[in-house]
Amino acid sequence: MNRVKVMRPIFRPEIESGFVLYPYRIYHLRLYYKRLGMRDKVFDYFAYVDLYRLGAERGDRFIELYEWEVDEKVVMNPLVGDEEARMKAFESAITWGNSRVISWWLPRIEVVREELAYKVFWLYEKNGERLILDSLDGSEYSLDVLTGKGRRTCEGPFCR
pLDDT reported for residue 160: 46
pTM for the predicted model, two decimal places: 0.86
Residues 13-38 have a mean pLDDT of 95
DSSP label of 73:
G
List the one residue out of 93, 84, 87 whose CA is nearest residue 57.
93
DSSP the chain: -EEEEEEPP----SS--EEEEEEEEEEEEEEEE--TTS--EEEEEEEEEETTT--EEEESS---EEEEEE-GGGBPPPSS-HHHHHHHHHHHHHHHHHTT---SSPPEEEEEEEEEEEEEEEEEEETTEEEEEETTT--EEEHHHHHT--S----STT--
Domain residues of the chain, as ranges?
A: 2-147
- Evaluate if residue 13 carries a pLDDT over 80: yes
CA 34, CA 41: separation in Å to the nearest integer? 7
The 10s digit of each residue's pLDDT in 60-115 is 999 999 999 999 999 999 999 999 999 999 999 999 999 999 899 999 999 999 99
Higher pLDDT, 44 or 15: 44
pLDDT at 155: 52
Distance CA 34, CA 107 (A): 7
* Total length of the chain: 160
Per-residue pLDDT at 159: 47
pLDDT in tens, 121-160: 999 998 889 999 999 999 999 988 888 876 555 554 444 4
